[in-house]
């Protein structure tokens, strides 16, 4: 039983080391990439952030428009019901 437990612990350790090794290898590959590729990825990220900010602004404008429409409709309904 103790032997099986030790084997399981070793398997976990090797599994963890493999994961860490894979992450380090991936980071090494990213760091050793050509600067042009890194700049391209940065530009792509900036564009994605810009698109996201644009969509957020568009949603805010839509919310304000809906609120204004609701207020105008409520006032007109109140005016018609009191006439």
pLDDT at 82: 85
pLDDT at 74: 92
Residues 6+ apart with CB under 8 A from 38: 30
pLDDT at 55: 87
Same domain, 21 and 49: no
Give me the domain span that covers residue 52. 35-83
Same domain, 80 and 45: yes
The token pair at 21 is 């090794």
User: Residue 15 and residue 33: Cα distance in Å, rounded?
Assistant: 27
User: How many domains, the chain?
Assistant: 2
The reported pTM is: 0.46
Same domain, 50 and 74: yes
pLDDT at 42: 80
User: Residue 57 and residue 32: Cα distance in Å, rounded?
Assistant: 37
Low-confidence ranges of the chain (pLDDT < 70): 1-33
pLDDT at 36: 77
Element holding 59 (H helix, E strand): helix 35-82
The token pair at 31 is 């760091």
Same domain, 42 and 82: yes
């Amino acid at each position: 039983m103790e032997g099986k437990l030790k084997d399981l612990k070793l398997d976990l350790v090797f599994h963890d080391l493999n994961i860490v090794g894979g992450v380090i290898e991936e980071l090494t590959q990213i760091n050793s990439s050509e600067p042009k590729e890194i700049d391209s990825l940065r530009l792509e990220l900036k564009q994605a952030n810009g698109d996201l900010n644009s969509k957020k602004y568009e949603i805010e404008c839509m919310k304000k428009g809906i609120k204004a429409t609701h207020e105008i409709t409520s006032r007109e309904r109140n005016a018609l019901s009191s006439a």
